[in-house]
């Protein structure tokens, strides 16, 4: 049994961490950190935890927390962890950071897209990008895990096999993604009010969304060179879910023909057939957010457009589970040698 602490336990991702970890047989939550609700009972913040969690919220004293637990989850805004992380803390405890502070290896790119100064760039190089299905072996030996974002997890996993196998030209990749409103966090914001979101769809962060360089960096590793993608996110009137529809030009083979649907499916099967949490759907079945809600699954599929020589790739996940807390727990399982799916065998909820 290991001890875990959560800083940011009353945000949506933090609340999902609590829900998942309460069902994990190898973990005890020792610290429910929340600067906004210090000394308030956690179950008063989230009534669904009534008679399940008796603890009150504590502050975000990470130095004290590092003395008391084995792993810390930081479900906090960008810049928080980078401003307080020290070598002494990392020598005492493993950290899984759900923010973007250590996801991007080039500090200049991070500062450009996030508009803040990085306070501890000395830890960027050692941080492991925690996309488990791709970096599993690196995660196992990490002290600091940079948990990927929700849009990025879906966008990367949907295209990864075809980029890795050289079946598409990644510089032609266009990612059209939709997210539920929980992806914007629990803070009160006028654009997220019910009347603003309900019966409405809108694009935002067009050409400027800060997940763009994260997608480019990780798919660039798969391609073996720097790439540039077009990424446009949209806000959808639903609580949870990410749906990514991605378009790219197929690369002609030596004989002048394009890869066939069978060859593309073989690429997906090569990388994902043994993956517990990635489901390659049957031919003709499009991923839908409702079939992954509440679970750690990613559903992917594709369709070849022979007329244009392009392929349409599709992926769906729950932004709070595989897109945040579930993936963080998956990373924790790898760090401590637990069964990777422990606490995460959550059947998707419907309706």
Active site members: 150
* Residue owning tokens 């004989």: 255
For the chain, how long is the longest CA-to-CA vector? 69
How would you write 110-166 as a 3-class SS string?
HHHHHCCCCCCHHHCCCCEECCHHHHHHHHHCCCEEECCCHHHHHHHHHHHHHHHCC
Instruction: Concatenate the DSSP letters of all residues of 215-251 into one string.
Output: HHHHHHHHHTS----EEEEEE-SSSS-EEEEEEEEBP
**Cα within 13 Å of Cα(3), Cβ side:** 11
- The sign of the dihedral angle between the CA atoms of 33, 36, 41, 44 is negative
Tokens of 195: 């009347």
- Cβ atoms of 27 and 96 within 8 Å: the answer is no
Between CA 138 and CA 152 the distance in angstroms is 19
Give the Cα separation of 113 and 120 in Å (integer). 17
CB crowding 90-120: b at 16 or more within 10 Å, else e: eebbbbbbbbbbbbbbebebbeebbeeebeb
> What percentage of the chain's residues is helix, strand, coil (to nearest 5)?
35, 20, 45
Which one, of 151, 79, 89, 144, lies nearest residue 117 by Cα?
79
Sign of the alpha-carbon torsion through 136, 137, 140, 146: negative
Which structure tokens are listed for 313? 């790739």
């Amino acid at each position: 049994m290991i001890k875990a602490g959560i800083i940011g336990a009353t945000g949506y991702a933090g609340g999902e961490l609590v829900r998942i970890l309460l069902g994990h047989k190898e973990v005890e939550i020792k610290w429910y950190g929340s600067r906004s609700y210090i000394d308030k009972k956690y179950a008063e913040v989230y009534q669904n935890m009534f008679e399940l969690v008796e603890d009150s919220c504590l502050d975000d004293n990470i130095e004290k927390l590092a003395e008391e637990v084995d792993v810390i989850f930081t479900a906090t805004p960008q810049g928080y962890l980078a401003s307080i992380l020290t070598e002494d803390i990392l020598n005492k405890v493993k950290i899984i950071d759900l923010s973007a502070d250590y996801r991007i290896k080039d500090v200049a790119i991070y500062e450009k897209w996030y508009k803040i100064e990085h306070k501890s760039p000395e830890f960027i190089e050692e941080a492991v990008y925690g996309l488990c299905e791709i970096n599993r072996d690196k995660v196992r030996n990490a002290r600091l895990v940079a948990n990927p974002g929700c849009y990025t997890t879906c966008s990367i996993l949907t295209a990864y096999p075809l980029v890795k196998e050289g079946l598409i030209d990644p510089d032609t990749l266009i990612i059209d993604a939709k997210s539920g409103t929980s992806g914007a966090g629990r803070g009160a914001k006028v654009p997220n009010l019910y009347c603003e979101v309900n019966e409405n769809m809108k694009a935002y962060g067009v050409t400027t969304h800060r997940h763009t360089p994260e997608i480019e960096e990780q798919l660039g590793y798969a391609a073996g060179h720097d790439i540039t993608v077009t990424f446009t996110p949209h806000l959808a009137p639903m609580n949870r879910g990410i749906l990514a529809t991605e378009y790219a030009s197929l690369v002609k083979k030596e004989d002048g023909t394009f890869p066939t649907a069978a060859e593309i499916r073989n690429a997906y099967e090569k990388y994902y057939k043994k993956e517990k949490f990635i489901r390659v759907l049957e031919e003709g079945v499009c991923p839908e957010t409702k079939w992954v809600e509440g679970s750690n699954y990613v559903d992917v599929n594709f369709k070849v457009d022979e007329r244009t020589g392009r392929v349409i790739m599709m992926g769906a996940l729950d932004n709070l589970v595989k897109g945040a807390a579930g993936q963080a727990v998956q990373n924790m399982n790898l760090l401590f040698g637990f069964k990777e799916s422990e606490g995460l065998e959550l059947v998707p909820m419907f309706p």
